A = this chain, B = another copy of it.
Amino acid sequence: MAENKALTTRAADFSAWYNEVIARAELADYSPVRGCMVIRPNGYAIWEQMQRALDQMFKDTGHQNAYFPIFIPQSFLSREAEHVEGFAPEVAVVTHGGGKELDEPLIIRPTSETIIYAMYAKWIQSYRDLPILINQWANVVRWEMRTRLFLRTTEFLWQEGHTAHATEAEAEEETIRMLGVYRTFMEQWMAMPVITGRKTDSERFAGALRTYSCEALMQDNKALQASTSHNLGQNFARAFEVTFQTANGDLDHVWSTSWGASTRMVGALIMTHSDDLGLVCPPRLAQYQVVIVPIYKTAEERTAVMEASDRVRKELAAAGMRVHLDARDDMKPGAKYYEWEGRGVPLRLELGPRDVSSGSVVLARRTGGKKETILMEGVASAITVAMNKLQADLFQAALARREAATLRGATKEQFIAKMENEGGLVYGGFCGSAACEAEIKEQTKATIRVLPDEEFRSSVAPTKCMWCGRPSVAEAVWAKAY
């Protein structure tokens, strides 16, 4: 049960605030297993909405779901040189099964490229078998030393798409298409603005040719990588001998991609929208979009109010909304308001005896507007309007926050000062040198989040590296990141 006291504010301690928002909304809990979290029903309901929306978008772009084993023979990981280097230090290893020591230890998938390419090698013979467009919803394990609920846990839930194509161009097209799907989802469902772009080599997925990502800025002005899409080239195809006969009768390795998004998005959603009162959830992903709280004192009032509340509930449900009538008798309306506020429910309807008489109902928004009396007649369309407006307002507010925290064309000194003080995003020229990147990271803790896609770039392209002054090869976005 949520305790009735104020949360630590974002300004006072963002990290403590984040944990308290999660506790108050009962989204997740620490488990007795180091680094592993429990996703409680209120948190899982948001994840389910995310899954439903993304899954439909994957299917609409021609993908099918499948399921591959959680276990990967240890030797598989080693077949792709960069991949093993990237993942070996953080794997969990099964050494015993059925009471016996295993001949070859099994690792628990940190990601599934290796086991999936072993199967693709079996399934793909000809160009007619291509493309293969498969997605998997699964749990993965990456041993973490410092964990945070949703953001970094040893086990997490995600989806991983794995596609194989006949040409390099098709693979690149798919990589970019799925980056676009993530962007659409984050903007339109999570109400979270993102910057898309390419990662530098030092931030690339272990084994990929190129990694693209969606980067978002949290309210503490730290960036968060919200999803990635990788063009794997022929790297894994070579490692697992995934070949196919081309239309010309030649033999070639397939070109492949992988792309993923995880329960980390729930953390991103929390840190993008929530306030000092608790969770704020965009309507499209909320477990309940509308909660109705009946107000009454006498049994007679109760009958009339409950009857009217249930009529409203049915009308909203019939309009396709996720609506809940809070009929608990042993709890006062104020306590209910407090609870639903902390749980981030976008809209609340209060309905008392006077409202019944006047055929109206009081609408309270979780954020961005005062209480308002609306007519019961046509309540579904009024609520639809309010819901769409709240969804749009949350996006605009997040966008405004991000823009306010963004500095373009900074000097080295301005950059250092910004990273030391308020944080946020800095756009500037980059010389392309990994050494320069490493030096920046060491001195400021900031990393290049992306080399942004064209529409995010500054109107005047930088000519010099923001750090070393050598010629710039690309504009970069720097930030301290989760």
Using CB atoms and an 8 Å cutoff, list the residues of chain A in contact with chain B. Answer: 1, 29, 31-33, 36-41, 44-45, 47-48, 64-73, 76, 88-99, 105-106, 108, 115, 118-119, 122-123, 125, 128-129, 134, 138-139, 141, 143-145, 154-155, 157, 330
Contact = CB atoms under 8 A, between A and B. Distances in A.
A128 to B, nearest CB: 8
8 contacts: A33-B73, A41-B134, A45-B64, A70-B155, A88-B99, A89-B99, A92-B96, A92-B106
A71 B155 contact: yes
A98 B94 CA distance: 12
A33 B98 contact: no
Nearest to A123: B29
Number of copies of this protein chain within its complex: 2
Which one of A39, A47, A92 has the highest number of Cβ atoms from chain B below 10 Å of its Cβ? A92
A68 B44 CA distance: 11
B67 A38 contact: yes
B69 A94 contact: no
Given A98-B145, A129-B1, A139-B139, A66 B38 contact: yes
Contacts of A123: 29
Nearest to A116: B38
A354 B271 CA distance: 62
Nearest to A89: B99
Contacts of A39: 66-67
Given A29-B119, A44-B65, A95-B95, 11 more contacts: A1-B129, A33-B71, A38-B119, A41-B64, A69-B155, A89-B99, A90-B98, A90-B99, A95-B96, A98-B145, A139-B139
Contacts of A155: 69-71
B95 A93 contact: yes
A43 to B, nearest CB: 8
A91 B99 CA distance: 7
Given A106-B33, A115-B33, A129-B1, A97 B65 contact: no
**10 closest Cβ pairs, A-B complex:** A98-B143, A36-B69, A41-B64, A39-B67, A93-B96, A92-B97, A97-B143, A95-B95, A33-B71, A33-B69
A66 B48 CA distance: 10
A138 B137 CA distance: 10
Contacts of A129: 1
Given A97-B92, A98-B90, A141 B40 contact: no
B93 A66 contact: no
A443 B108 CA distance: 42
Nearest to A136: B44
Contacts of A70: 36, 108, 139, 141, 155
A328 B331 CA distance: 62
Contact of A64 (B1, B44, B119): B44
Given A94-B94, A134-B41, A48 B65 contact: yes
A394 to B, nearest CB: 25
Contacts of A66: 38-41, 44
A93 B94 contact: yes
Nearest to A105: B96
A141 B96 CA distance: 12
Contacts of A108: 70, 94, 108
Given A32-B115, A33-B115, A45-B64, A38 B93 contact: no
Contacts of A119: 29, 31, 38
Nearest to A65: B44
